[in-house]
Structure 1
Amino acid sequence: MAKKISIMNLSENDLSKFCEENNFPKFHSSQILNWIYKKYAITFEEMSDIPKSLRISLEENYFIHNSKVETMTEDEYGTKKLLISLYDKKKIESVILGKNDRITFCLSSQVGCGYGCAFCSTGAMGLSRNLTADEILAEFILMRAITKKVNSIVFMGMGEPLANTKNLFKAIETINSYKGFNLGIRHITISTSGEIVGIKQLIEKDLDCRLAVSLHSLKNEVRDKIMPINKKYPIENLISILKRYSKNGKRMITFEWVLMKDINDSVNDAYRIVNLKKEFPFKVNIIPMNPVEHAPELKKPNKDIILRFKSILKDNGVEVIERFKQGQDILAGCGQLAIKDDN
């Protein structure tokens, strides 16, 4: 017997073909999708308006997903960190941010990460494997079962999303589709460390989701040390491709800047960001360094330095967001996601 696969890897056309080949009307394909993506069914048995014989056929050939929430921790702000186990016992972490009026799902795209950014615990794990499209969608389903609501998603969890574009784009297509989760494309953000090949694929696909770039320095000698990808794709190459991505200023880009004491928090660092204004529109997400076990020497600057940095940007017309310290106490903040068992 053939190995079962997740039914979430199938399109409506694939499902229609399956129904037809098994002597069922093709319209059942829409019903199946509705049960999975609108009613969040976790078993075929729940699909009460589908003939039992079809449910049995589905059960024999497919599963919906086999990911499982192992633990969930929550901080005082309502941030929830989920430890999710996968079919092969590998584990990932995903985060639910916000509560009540605005909920954001922070999704992982890989088990671990091979990019080794100095300030990131996931990078210290190394890369185990890519997540499949159905595993990414399963994250969404598991989180949705907890919150019953979602306003936006960000691919800022474990892994480099643009190193897994095949599965990422397939998952986004389902998340955005009106027959899928029906979340608007502008409510989806992809974060990248500067994976230029992936950014080119975004341009070619003309995928109109939001893009966030982990920048952290505009000096090659500094970025080389804290982000090894810079040795492959130096700053000037990254800025060049981002100019193309921005469509001559029509697309806003978000720069993420983890402020690290005595590394990228100087007055000159701030003015280098200001000087980028002539290239394309952007805003800057300031993230004071979160403590990470593998690099205790990396610390956040004091409040005065942070304020000075923000003020220079704001006074020169740069839109600035300072990330609220959600998740830090439960190791769910920026750069803190890690699975010790999966090194």
Structure 2
Amino acid sequence: MKSGKQNIRHFTLPELEVYFEELGEKKFRAKQVYEWIWTKQVHSIEEMTNLSKELRQKLNDNFTLPALVINSTQYSADGTVKSSFKTFDGHLVEGVLIPTENRVTACVSSQIGCSLSCKFCATGYIDRKRNLDFDEIYDQVVLINRQSEKIYGKKLTNIVFMGMGEPLLNYKNVLKSIERITAPDGLGMSPRRITVSTAGVAKMIRQLGDDKVKFKLALSLHAANDTKRHDIMPINDSNNIKSLIEALNYFYKQTKNEITFEYILFNNLNDSIQDADELTKIYRQVPADLVNIIEYNPIEFAQFAKPDEDKVAVFMKHLEKNRVNAHLRRSRGKDIDAACGQLANKN
């Protein structure tokens, strides 16, 4: 063991086995601790009740278990639940429970703040403090799942990495959290029920392909030409649409996993028939399953507006006429700032 306390959840089972043998304890104690951490999802060493008090004290002397705790919870009229989680070092990060008729989804964050500065997103106006560790991402899912069971009597059916931060700029922790979420001795969720959303980091989209990941991928497109996308998403400067199309095709070739485009409609910005035609052109260059058309949710920092219903209907009809598999996604949790683009640690 190195000097100083270390996060016990950052140790693999074989590493814990070595530690217990060095301590003169039976090797099976490592498996007990590992089950407490990942299967039973305890948030303190004191809760590991099949270990002696003496052994728990030794663990407390050598390890930390810095779990997330719920700082505050807000309940929307539509059933959406937003929670603010506090990290061990005092930062806040938000996650959302989204119930619908057929599914219960956890929307989780991957970073504290964000470095991408997308103009329409509240999180983009918050400086990135740090990446979340994989166990902190896992904690969000555990805590939101408990809320789901308590409020709706159902376990989570889906997870989307669409909260605060850019998941592909916290690549290792996001993948390791998904490994734990999908592991039989973790939450045991199918990776097919997990979607990672990115603002578009072409190099890391290709890396996902090389790593043969099993989860779905969503690209936040939001504008179908480089000029408009540059105006609202500065990341387009280094990751233009052509490079993203190439990366998505590589990802699909390597994994055959589902790809979705996310497209927020902004009034008089990206909602014209020409925009719909440009979106159709991109859709046809990628084996995408779906285009999610999302209604814009106002934030106090930005001057965007959503188009009226008639304009939205014309846009959708034009996509349909061009055989684009498009779905209009109505936002949920707007009254508690829990909808798409609204997470900002206000409370």
TM range (shorter): over 0.9
* Count of residues paired in the alignment: 340
Partner of 2:128: helix, strand, or coil?
Answer: strand
CA pair 93-104 structure 1, distance change in 2 beyond 3 A:
same
Aligned to 2:297: 290
Partner of 2:292: helix, strand, or coil?
Answer: strand
Is 1:157 matched up with 2:163? yes
- What is the distance in 2 between the residues matched to 1:65 and 1:184? 26
Asked if structure 1 preserves the Cα contact closer than 8 Å seen for 2:110 and 2:167, the reply is yes
Deviation at 1:4, TM superposition (A): 2.7
What is the correspondence of 1:1-343 to structure 2 with a 5 Å cutoff? 2-98=3-99, 102-148=103-149, 149-247=155-253, 250-282=256-288, 283-295=290-302, 297-339=303-345
Partner of 2:264: helix, strand, or coil?
Answer: strand
Q: Which runs of 5 or more structure 1 residues have no equivalent in the other structure? A: none
Letter in 2 for 1:115: L
Partner of 1:93: helix, strand, or coil?
Answer: strand
- What is the distance in 2 between the residues matched to 1:98 and 1:44? 32
Letter in 2 for 1:304: D
Could you give the per-residue CA deviations for residues 148-175 of structure 1, whole angstroms, max 9, x where no partner exists? 3211111100000000112111211111
CA pair 190-313 structure 1, distance change in 2 beyond 3 A:
same
Superposition TM-score, scaled by structure 2 size: 0.92
- What is the distance in 1 between the residues matched to 2:110 and 2:19? 29
Asked if structure 1 preserves the Cα contact closer than 8 Å seen for 2:276 and 2:315, the reply is yes
Letter in 1 for 2:296: M
Asked if structure 2 preserves the Cα contact closer than 8 Å seen for 1:125 and 1:339, the reply is no
Deviation at 1:100, TM superposition (A): 7.6
- What is the distance in 2 between the residues matched to 1:2 and 1:121? 41
CA pair 180-254 structure 1, distance change in 2 beyond 3 A:
same
Deviation at 1:249, TM superposition (A): 9.2
- What is the distance in 2 between the residues matched to 1:26 and 1:248? 40
Asked if structure 2 preserves the Cα contact closer than 8 Å seen for 1:284 and 1:320, the reply is yes
Computed over aligned residues only, the root mean square deviation of the Cα atoms, in angstroms, reads: 1.9
Partner of 1:20: helix, strand, or coil?
Answer: helix
Deviation at 1:28, TM superposition (A): 2.4
Deviation at 1:44, TM superposition (A): 2.2
Deviation at 1:105, TM superposition (A): 1.0
- What is the distance in 2 between the residues matched to 1:7 and 1:99? 36
- What is the distance in 2 between the residues matched to 1:273 and 1:304? 19
- What is the distance in 2 between the residues matched to 1:250 and 1:141? 29
- What is the distance in 2 between the residues matched to 1:6 and 1:310? 49
Asked if structure 2 preserves the Cα contact closer than 8 Å seen for 1:248 and 1:280, the reply is no
Superposition TM-score, scaled by structure 1 size: 0.93
Partner of 2:138: helix, strand, or coil?
Answer: helix
- What is the distance in 2 between the residues matched to 1:270 and 1:158? 28
